[in-house]
């Protein structure tokens, strides 16, 4: 793919749009960036740097004429494909792609990509930590921290790229093909963006659509959607709570047992420094990825046990008068809230709410019975949760 002399538009000037513009400019493209925010709302550092490099910036909306006259349109993750200008661009023959698609086309390194409704950041960070502790030069990013494309701007070679991938980022991929794909779970979320749950699910499943026979797909076999996936074009490794014939990882006698390429190893769950059974399950794909790349058990055990939990994810804050205060503010959908409640071995006072994403809270109400002592609802979703 040649970028030199190409006219490329970017919608969205957040961190992803910024690094995308830097990469495009470095490769000789004529870059146009637009954002619905006003100029004073955009990060001044981004605006000044891009203007200095000769990028064209349009605030307070989109320059439709420029976009429709572009060779390529790159969408930032927060930008919906349903925007009229995006639809028109596709109709006019403009190639519309995601930032991860652009980065992939120039990335010479193996990629481990993690998606799912919940648990992505923890699993992505833990995989990155395991490889760092093993002496591997690993870039960790995507929907977590730095955008994928930023690794191509750094003056070093990588051994491995580990990416958290959201459904938004998967909407406009064409060739994106990880060496290892991981899908942790699929439950309703972002129903304010997708027309229905099927649309959301299909978008998540795009992560492995381009994978080949020599690559791996790791699936949570306890998930009712993922357990039904059948494919022969990629090596499938399944994990789940109970031991089953087709599972490469499962719980057995307070240990995670791994069965891979004729090798059996067990890892004590006591070494996992995370709250909740769901986080024990989430450690399974981390171990499987390590086995795929041949990391020794002794190094792997030490790396997992030294992992520091991410902030805002079942994070113990302080304890007073026998009450433990836990920050789980990254639980932004029903399933993640349920997993948090299930993961606490005590009665719970629940403070929940926030943006209304069109979710059904009936399952949360059912799980809260007998476990949640008091509940306080806040934000625009409070009314719907109270019902």
210 shares its domain with 145: yes
Confidence bin at 387 (pLDDT 50/70/90): low
Q: What is the CATH number of the domain that holds 184?
A: 3.40.1190.10
Percent of the residues in the chain that have a pLDDT greater than 90, as a whole number: 73
Q: What is the CATH number of the domain that holds 25?
A: 3.40.50.720
Active-site hit among 58, 120, 129, 278: 120
Residue 224 has pLDDT above 70, yes or no: yes
111 shares its domain with 213: yes
Residue 204 has pLDDT above 90, yes or no: yes
Residue 75 lies in a domain: yes
Q: What angle do CA 222, 227, 244 make, to 5 degrees?
A: 65
Q: What is the mean pLDDT of residues 187-209?
A: 91
198 shares its domain with 241: yes
Contact of 124 with 101, CB cutoff 8 Å: no
Among 107-111, 116-120, 162-166, 236-240, which is the least confidently predicted range?
Answer: 116-120
| Rounded Cα gap, residues 298 and 31, in angstroms | 49
301 shares its domain with 345: no
Q: What is the mean pLDDT of residues 269-286?
A: 90
| Domain boundary residue, one of 42, 73, 98 | 98
Percent of the residues in the chain that have a pLDDT greater than 70, as a whole number: 98
300 shares its domain with 335: no
Could you tell me which residue, 118 or 12, shows the higher pLDDT?
12
The total of structural domains in the chain comes to 3
| Rounded Cα gap, residues 385 and 387, in angstroms | 5
| Rounded Cα gap, residues 331 and 353, in angstroms | 10
Active-site hit among 25, 58, 129, 190: 190
231 shares its domain with 113: yes
134 shares its domain with 176: yes
| Domain boundary residue, one of 271, 305, 339 | 305
168 shares its domain with 54: no
Residue 74 lies in a domain: yes
Annotation marks residue 56 as catalytic: no
Mean pLDDT for all residues in the chain:
92
Q: Show the domain range for 90.
A: 7-98
Contact of 315 with 169, CB cutoff 8 Å: no
The answer for residues whose C-beta is within 8 angstroms of residue 169's C-beta and 6 or more apart is 77, 98, 99, 100, 142, 143
361 shares its domain with 231: no
Annotation marks residue 190 as catalytic: yes
Active-site hit among 58, 118, 129, 143: 143
Residue 310 lies in a domain: no
| Rounded Cα gap, residues 77 and 102, in angstroms | 13
Could you tell me which residue, 346 or 312, shows the higher pLDDT?
346
Annotation marks residue 244 as catalytic: no
Confidence bin at 313 (pLDDT 50/70/90): low
298 shares its domain with 331: no
Alpha-carbon torsion 219, 102, 16, 137, what sign?
Answer: positive
| pTM of the complete model | 0.86
């Amino acid at each position: 793919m040649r970028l030199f002399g190409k006219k490329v538009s970017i919608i969205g000037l957040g961190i992803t749009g910024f690094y995308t513009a830097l990469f495009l400019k470095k490769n000789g493209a004529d870059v146009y960036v637009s954002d619905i925010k006003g100029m004073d709302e955009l990060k001044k550092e981004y605006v000044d740097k891009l203007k200095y490099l000769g990028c064209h910036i349009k605030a307070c909306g989109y320059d439709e004429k420029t976009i429709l006259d572009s060779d390529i349109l790159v969408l930032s993750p927060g930008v919906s494909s349903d925007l009229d200008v995006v639809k028109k661009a596709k109709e006019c023959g403009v190639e519309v792609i995601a930032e991860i698609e652009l980065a992939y086309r120039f990335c010479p390194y193996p990629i481990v990509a993690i998606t799912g409704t919940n648990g992505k950041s923890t699993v992505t960070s833990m995989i990155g930590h395991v490889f760092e502790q093993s002496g591997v030069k690993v870039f960790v990013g995507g929907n977590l921290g730095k955008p994928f494309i930023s690794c191509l701007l750094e003056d070093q070679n990588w051994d491995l790229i580990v990416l958290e991938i959201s459904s938004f980022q998967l909407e406009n991929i064409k060739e994106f093909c990880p060496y290892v794909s991981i899908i942790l779970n699929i439950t309703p979320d972002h129903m304010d963006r997708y027309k229905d749950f099927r649309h959301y699910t299909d978008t998540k499943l795009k992560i492995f659509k381009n994978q080949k026979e020599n690559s791996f797909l790791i699936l949570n076999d306890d998930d009712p959607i993922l357990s039904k996936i059948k494919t022969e074009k990629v090596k499938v490794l399944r994990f789940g709570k109970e031991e089953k014939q087709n599972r490469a990882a499962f719980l057995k006698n307070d240990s995670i047992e791994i069965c891979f390429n004729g090798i059996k190893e067990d890892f004590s769950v006591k070494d996992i420094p995370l709250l909740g059974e769901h986080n024990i399950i989430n450690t399974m794909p981390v171990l499987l990825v390590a086995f795929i790349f041949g990391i020794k058990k002794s190094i792997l055990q030490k790396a997992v046990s030294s992992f520091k939990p991410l902030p805002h994810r079942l994070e113990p804050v302080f304890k007073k008068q026998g009450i433990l205060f836990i920050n789980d503010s990254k639980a932004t959908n029903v399933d993640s809230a349920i997993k948090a409640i299930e993961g606490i071995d005590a009665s719970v006072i629940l403070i929940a709410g926030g943006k209304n994403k069109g979710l059904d809270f009936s399952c949360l109400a059912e799980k809260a019975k007998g476990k949640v002592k008091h509940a306080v609802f806040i934000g625009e979703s409070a009314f719907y949760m109270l019902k």
